[in-house]
Amino acid sequence: MDLNYAYPLEPEWEIEDITTVVAFYTAVETAFLNGIDRALFLSQYREFKQIVKSKAEEKQLTKKFLKSSGFDMYLAIKAARTTTKKRIGPLQKGER
């Protein structure tokens, strides 16, 4: 699998914002590739939502991230919210 792609970022974000968003993108990748601790994933999602407050912007970034990486943020978030297990993943692409 080729992991050489660009993350969707917004030009108005500060360095700290970019760091937070990239950490969440990495958590999504980890959920698909290896699995990730559910509490850690949800914590990183909450931090991401401090930067990306609107649902519309989140949907746009989800589409861009999916297109560039093949990883679906929506699936990872859904998996984390709907399970009571300590870990989520590894996830399969296309489970929507």
Q: What angle do CA 21, 46, 42 make, to 5 degrees?
A: 100
Query: Is the whole-model pTM more than 0.85?
Result: yes
Query: For 84, what's the count of Cα atoms within 13 Å in the CB-facing half-sphere?
Result: 0
Per-residue pLDDT reduced to its tens digit, 4-42: 789 999 999 999 999 999 999 999 999 999 999 999 999
Domains of the chain, with CATH numbers?
15-84 (1.10.220.80)
Per-residue pLDDT reduced to its tens digit, 38-70: 999 999 999 999 999 999 999 999 999 999 999
